[in-house]
Every structure is written in C-alpha cells, then in structure tokens.
Structure 1
C-alpha cells in the first residue's frame, strides 16, 4: 500500500473551515427561522450554497492536505457533483431546522438523509481522484465514518434547531456548538480518509487532465473563507437590522399604546374620558339589547367644588378631584365604568339587575361623596348632584342617554343639590335649549352677533366722566339681546371664552382709539377678564397685539380681574400682573370684598384700582355692616395708594355716602346705563349732572 502523508497546516485550515461553516450554518438557521415570505426562501437558498461550500471545502482541503508518492489530480465533473451533494444536504438541513416543530421521527430521518448526503459528498470527492486500481476501503473504518456522519448530522440538526431563535447568550452558545459540530464533521472526514487504502501500483488517472492541486488549495481556501465571511457578515448585519427594526416597532407600538391611553383617559385622574365612555355605553347597549337587561348612566357634578378651588387654588382643587375619583373607583364593580367628562363632572355606567337598583346606588354615591376628604393638610367637604338616565327607556343611543342624564343632574341641582334625580321627559326641553344655545354660541362669533355696550364711570367729586366699562351682549337673531349671565358660564365650560375674550379686548381698544382721537386722552376703557382667560398662556400677547393694532397707549386700558381669580394662585397671578403692569396697563381688582384676600399678597399685586362689589352698595344705607365693610375697603385702598371705584350706584343716598367715604369713581344706573358706542357719547352730552 502507498503511504499517505498530510500537510498539518492544511489539516488545521480544514478544521477552521469546518468550525466557521458550522457557526455560519447556525446563524443562517436563525435568519431563516425569523424571516417571512419570499425572504425565507432567499435565505434558505443562499444559506444552502454558503453552508454547502463550507462543508465541501473542509472536505476538499482535507483531501488536498493528503499527499501520495505519485502525482495527484481531481476530475472536475465528479468534484462538482460532490459539491452539489454538499449544497443539497445543507439546503435540506436548513429547511428542516427552520420549521416551527421538529418531531423525533423528522429528526431521525433528517439525520440519516443529511449523513448520507455528507458521506456521498466525501466518497464522491475521493472518487474524483480516479485511482487505478480503485481505492480499497477498510470495512470497519468505512462503516465508522458513515456512523460518524449520521451522528454528526443528528447533533448538528438538534443544536441548530435549539439555537435558531434569538435569546440571551445565544451567540456564545452558537460559538460553542460550532466547535462541537466542526469537530464532528472533521472527525467523519479523517475517519473516511483513514479507511482508504491505495495499492502500491496505483496511479491517478486525473493527474494529467484533472485539476492541479498546487493552485487549487490556495483558491479553495480563499474562496471558501470569502463566501463564509460574506454569508456570516450578511446574516449578522441583517439580524442587527431586524433587531433594530423590531426595537423601533416595539417603541412605535408602545408610543401608540401611550397615545391611545392619552386619547381615551383623563390625564389628571386617569379615568376613562368621554370618548371611551361613549364607546363603553355603545357596548352596553348592544349587550343589554341581547340580554334584555338594564343599565344606568349617572351624571355627577360636585356641589361646592368651585369655592374650594377658588379659595385654595387649582392645585388643591386637582388633588380633590383625584381623591373623589379614587373614592368612587374603590366602590366600582368589574363591569362598571367611571369616567371624568369635565372639570368636576363624572359619569358612572352601572349595570343593574333591576331598574330600582339605581335608587340604592345613587344614594350610596351621594353619601360617599358627602363624607369629608383629607387633602394635604385640609379637610374639605363637597357634595354631589346626580342625574340618572336608564336604559332602556330614557334613550336608545349614547348621546341621548348622556344628554338626558345631564339634564337630570341639572334638575337635581335646581332641587337643592346633594341628591339625585331621575330623568323625566319634561327635562328634555331645558336640555335641548342648552344644546341649541351651545350651537348658536359657536356660530355667534362667525356671524358677528356679539356687541359691546359701554357703561360710564364718573369722578366722585366733580362728576366728570373718566371712561367706561365694556360689557358684552349677544344680539341673538331669534332671542334678541342675551345677557352674559345666560351664556358666559357655557362659554367658560367649553373654552370658547378665550376667543370671545380676545374679540372683546380688540373691540374695546378699537373704540377707545376713536375716543382718544376725539380728545378724550384722560379716559380709560375697562375690560373684564374671566378666570379661564386670565390663566391662558396667550393673554399677554393678546393684550400687546390689541394695543399695537390700534396704536393705543397702554394706560388707556384697564383690565379687571375678580378678587377670587387674583387670589386663586397668588404667585402665578403676581407674575402675570407684573408683566401687564410693565406694559403700562391699568389693573383693577373687581368684586373686592367677596373673596378671601391675603393682605400680604394684596400689597404685592401691582394693581391700580379696587372695585367695590355692587352687593355691598345695594343695601348700603340700611345695613350698617355693609357700610363698615365699604369704609374698611376705602381705608385699605387709600393706604395702598389705590383708586377706589364703587359700582351699582342706583340712588342719590348711595352716591352721597360713597363720595363722603372717599371713593374716587362711581358707576351705576343712577349715573348711566350701558349703551352701544354710537349712543354712549350722545347720552353723556344730554345728561344733566346728578347731585345729592
């Protein structure tokens, strides 16, 4: 027998190729398992080619490592056939491990098929030498090589299937598995090589016409490493890209979830909002229609919340709302829904066994809310008015049921608050009226239906006019003049007061500019600011824009805010008022004496004027308490160097008394009624000074 020798460097290279091919195969199996659609087929084909070339190259480099004392060469067609066997076996293996499941009999048959493919590749490669006489194989080693091929295939398939999906430390596990798989494949190859025997008179028929081994070894090594490196790099980069895409997709899903949460829940109390409530009501309608069941919509409005909010500030008011929400939420059943639909308005959707159960539930709610709340260091008390609409009977859709429950709530408030009221058909008229009024209010600005009336102010000592207060009126096309008392609360509730307030400010400045050009430079026009308007971030810009647009000196404009608004959040109020004062705008504290002022804050406010509420003036002559309060307010204003304006002057006795106390200016029906601008000047010209 011819004695074979081996190039140890090529043997090591064949081992390295086997390990690299195994690691590449494991990565490609992972890519194929996670790919979808056409991408999976492309990865399978590309992976079969790269893995097949890797396994075949390991075998071929191992053969090139062997040398005999005779010239050797390889038949090209048989060599390519052995490569094809490697590619087919690799493709089958990758397809098998990419399946969702691999039952044991699939694994066993696959191991036999893959082992047969690798063995066929090896022995076809040996046949490419075209030895004459033929190669003699040791039966024991030959059988052992086949057994190793099947065992190596079984181990490779099992490992690849287990490590095909991404997970913690999967790369490290694949590296270890690649060493085992590579070693098994190399073991099979060199066992098969050891089984081969070459008779002494053997010659290689492919030595002259076949492939030359001198340059073939270098070519195969370079090409193999390039193919495997490209395949591995592509797999790793694609995996990273997919991981990045998965992270972005997860982030997007989380962002969508958070947006959905924000869109469907109240940001303060985290309760469902009106949108989610309407959806739940719709679901309950379908559910109860199938079961012939009942549910109640209970519309709750907190009685006494506004005074608490005004006295202690919005922050404490928000904490109180959260406390109310938590207390109600603790009593909820799994099938019920509690939502916040407005400032201090909540709605409970409750399933009922019988319609009469709504009475007990409403009573429990009223009693529950009536208990004191400990908010911060304060013990606060509020009550609730509950309006109840039942399904079926009080409505067939979400909007009707909510509207009717709202109407019943207003009826409960009108009946004395701190109680509940069931909806009755007679309440619909008022509900429809409110709905129609809201619709008309939304159109009023567009249709130019608002008007400004001006009530004059007079110097208390000499009776000369000092300006006017701009008062809003609504010229409704059907109802005629609508008083602010009928629509201002609705405008504040819907937020429309911001746009309306900006319109009032602009129109008042426009009118004052006309009076200024007519020589009345010492006049001031006063504009009332609502609490919502005063807290709006765009107030400063609105005032500045109106003054600039009409080229009006800032000291011709007086902004009136109520004492309650000024004291609700004194520090924030101080910042806003300071910025307005820096512009040169006059500032007046309206309805003074009706709120809860802190003198510490009052002296810090950059106000120019205190305005005594008409409630103290109306019974001034007959009520000594009112007279004492007004005297105190006048003394306080004089001490703080503020102008004192008294409104609501309707009698000569009131005028005389207020003048003697030291008021600087007076306003009221005795002196002049609110009139449109075109009648205002004429009324002043026609008026006769009123004396006591």
Structure 2
C-alpha cells in the first residue's frame, strides 16, 4: 500500500479550498434568496441557475479540485482524465440546481427540504467520487466502506442545511455566518471521503495518461474568476427588493386629475337684464339720480 499525503503543500491548499467554498456559498445564498421574491417564472429560473453555478460550481466542485492539488501518492505520478473531470463538475451543478428547484417552487415545507437535500447530497457525493475516479496513477484505488458511508451522510446533511439556508436566510450577516458553516461542511465531507482512499501500486510501472494538474489549473482559475465576476455583476445589476416594491407601488397608484372649474354657461339675455343687474357685476355701485338724463 502506497503512502498518501493529503497536504503536500501544507496549509495553502486547504485554506484556499475553504475560502472558495465560503465565497461560492455567499454568492449562492444571495442568488438563492432572489428565487422566491422573483416576479416571474423566467427570473426565478435565472436566479436558480446562478445559485446552482455558485454553490455547485464554486463552493463544491472548485473547492474539491483545489483540495486535490495537495493530494500526492509516494511512488506514482497523478494525472487526470479530462472528460471525467468535466463530468464531475456538471454533476455538482445539476444536482444543486435540481435541489433548488425542489425547494424553490411551491410552498416551502420540511418534506421538500428533506427530499431536495437527499437528492443534492447524493449528487455531491457522486461528484466527489467521480472526481476521484478521474485520477490516473500507477496503482489501484481502494475505499473504506465505513468512511465512504460517513462522507455520503455528511454530504446529505450539509446539502439539506444548505438548501434550508438558501430559502430562509436574507440578511447579510446571517448569509456570511451561514457561508462559514457551509464551508466547514463541504470541506469536512471532502476530506472524510479522501481519508477513505487507499492506493495499491502496480508492480510494474507504466505510462500514466491524462492531463497534469498544471494543465487543468489555469483554465479552472480563469473559469472561477470570470464566473465570480459574472455573478457579482448579475447581483449588482439586478433590482433590489426595495426597487421592486417601489415599482409595484408606482404601477398600481392611480393619479387623479385635478378637478376642472365648471365652464361658464352663456344664458340668453334678450331684454338686457344682465346689464342692468348690479348682482351680476361684483363691486358695481347703484346709479345716482344725477346719472339719469333729465326727462
């Protein structure tokens, strides 16, 4: 059995993996909080996609790959199968997206959260072990079944809590605290699953095919940067809840026109009574006797 080192570069890789999981969790929780307040089905779907990308792509899969950078096996090189690695990323995003769709539509209930958490947790575990199956080395991989079951249980519990927080947390401080907890859960699941791994080297060393870590690192880092910038831009460009409330108020408010003054009615005056009446001319004085011409 080969010697395994999970922290070849010291604390750098676990610290970066935890930071990525917290960053992705913050963005995912903020995007998920917009799902239930979105005014249309299209906007709810849009925020669901962004939340799935942030949670599944950044908080879970990118964290997994960053932690794998510190994984080393004594006596063997490690390469990665690119199609299987890409498939593991898609599994994470799709699993989180389906979980958000389960809890984000209809009335929020305990049953919905449990079903969504079970499905999402199973998807996260599948992502993790698919990513590990993408490793190519001069050896055979083995797993401790008890620790594998424990990692799956942690994934299901973490996914359930994450979905519940995604649908209930709204304020900034609560989102940040929730992201810290989710980062611990995601990293705990990853390293629990990694501790279940054992490697048995082949007697004859052969050529290891696949992409090196450095080859995959550059596109993944660029993907994370553009993805995070895109998520932040989408959040900043979207109207806030106050903006939506103000727009709804202005849309339903009815502006009443000012009351118009009644138009004057021109009453016929055939005998000239209006000209003789002093009531029709405010401020007019009664004529005196000397104003009348002598008869």
| Alignment TM class, shorter chain as reference | 0.7 to 0.9
Residue 57 in structure 1 maps to residue 62 in structure 2: yes
Structural mapping, 1:262-281, within 5 Å: none
Distance in 2, Cα, partners of 1:13 & 1:203: 36
Name the larger-Rg structure. 1
Q: Which moved more, 1:29-38 or 1:119-128?
A: 29-38
Question: Aligned-pair distance for 1:175?
Answer: 0.7
- Matches for 1:150-549 after TM superposition, within 5 Å: 150-163=156-169, 166=170, 170-201=171-202, 207-208=208-209, 210-240=210-240, 243-250=242-249, 252=250, 256=253, 259-260=255-256, 442-443=265-266, 476=268, 479-483=270-274, 530=282
Q: What 5-or-longer segments of structure 2 have no aligned partner?
A: none
Q: 1:28: which partner in 2?
A: 31
8 Å Cα contact 1:96-1:102 kept in structure 2: no
Q: Any idea what SS the aligned residue of 1:442 has?
A: coil
Matched, 1:42 2:46: yes
Residue-by-residue CA offset, 1:373-430 (whole Å, 9 max, x unaligned): xxxxxxxxxxxxxxxxxxxxxxxxxxxxxxxxxxxxxxxxxxxxxxxxxxxxxxxxxx
| Contact map agreement 1:73 1:206 (CA 8 A) in 2 | no
**2:123 matched to 1:120?**
no
State the Cα distance separating 1:59 from its structure 2 match. 0.9
**Alpha-carbon distance in 2 for matches of 1:119, 1:125:** 10
Q: Which has the higher strand share?
A: 1
Matched residue SS, 2:272: strand
- Are the structure 2 counterparts of residues 443 and 104 from structure 1 closer, same or farther at C-alpha, using a change threshold of 3 Å? same
Is contact 1:61–1:221 with CA below 8 Å preserved after alignment?
no
Partner Cα distance (1:181, 1:66) in 2: 22
Residues in 2 aligned to 1:161 and 1:80: alpha-carbon distance in whole angstroms:
28
Q: Give 3-state SS (helix, strand or coil) of 1:136's partner.
A: strand
Query: Deviations along 1:322-378, whole A, 9 cap, x unmatched?
Result: xxxxxxxxxxxxxxxxxxxx9xxxxxxxxxxxxxxxxxxxxxxxxxxxxxxxxxxxx
SS of the residue 1:671 aligns to: helix
Tell me how far apart the structure 2 counterparts of residues 227 and 202 of structure 1 sit (CA, whole Å): 43
**Cα separation, partners in 2 of 1:12 and 1:487, compared to 1, 3 Å:** farther
Aligned to 1:10: 13
Select 2:73's aligned residue among 57, 60, 68. 68
Partners of 1:232 and 1:177 lie apart in 2 by 19
* Contact 1:130/1:204, CA 8 A, preserved across alignment: no
* TM-score where L is the length of structure 1: 0.38
Question: Counterpart in 2 of 1:95?
Answer: 101
Q: Corresponding residue for 1:462?
A: none
State how far apart, in whole Å, the 1-side matches of 2:138 and 2:279 are.
111
TM-aligned CA distance change 1:125 to 1:484, over 3 Å: same
Partners in 2 of 1:87 and 1:80 — Cα distance?
11
- Paired with 2:146 and 2:164, the residues of 1 have a C-alpha distance of 27
RCO higher in 1 or 2 (8 Å CA, sep ≥ 6)?
2
The structure-2 alpha-carbon separation of the partners of 1:481 and 1:79, relative to structure 1 and needing over 3 Å to count, comes to: same
* SS of equivalent residue, structure 1 residue 34: coil
Deviations 1:612-653 (A, max 9, x none): xxxxxxxxxxxxxxxxxxxxxxxxxxxxxxxxxxx64xxxxx
* Offset, 1:249: 4.2
Aligned pair count?
Answer: 289
CA distance 1:485–1:123, change in 2 (3 Å): farther
User: 1:514-537 CA deviation, whole Å, 9 max, x = no partner?
Assistant: xxxxxxxxxxxxxx6x4xxxxxxx
Matched position secondary structure for 1:231: helix
In the aligned structure 2, how far is the partner of 1:191 from the partner of 1:50? 23
Q: What is the CA distance between 1:96 and its match in structure 2?
A: 2.6
3-state SS of the aligned residue for 1:33? coil
Following TM superposition, by how much is the alpha carbon of 1:49 offset from its aligned partner in structure 2, in angstroms? 3.2
Please say if residues 73 and 204 of structure 1, whose CA atoms lie closer than 8 Å, have aligned partners that are also in contact.
no
Long gaps (5+) in structure 1: 265-274, 276-341, 343-437, 445-475, 490-527, 531-560, 562-589, 592-646, 649-667, 674-682
The answer on whether the counterparts of 1:15 and 1:186 sit within 8 Å (CA) in structure 2 is: yes
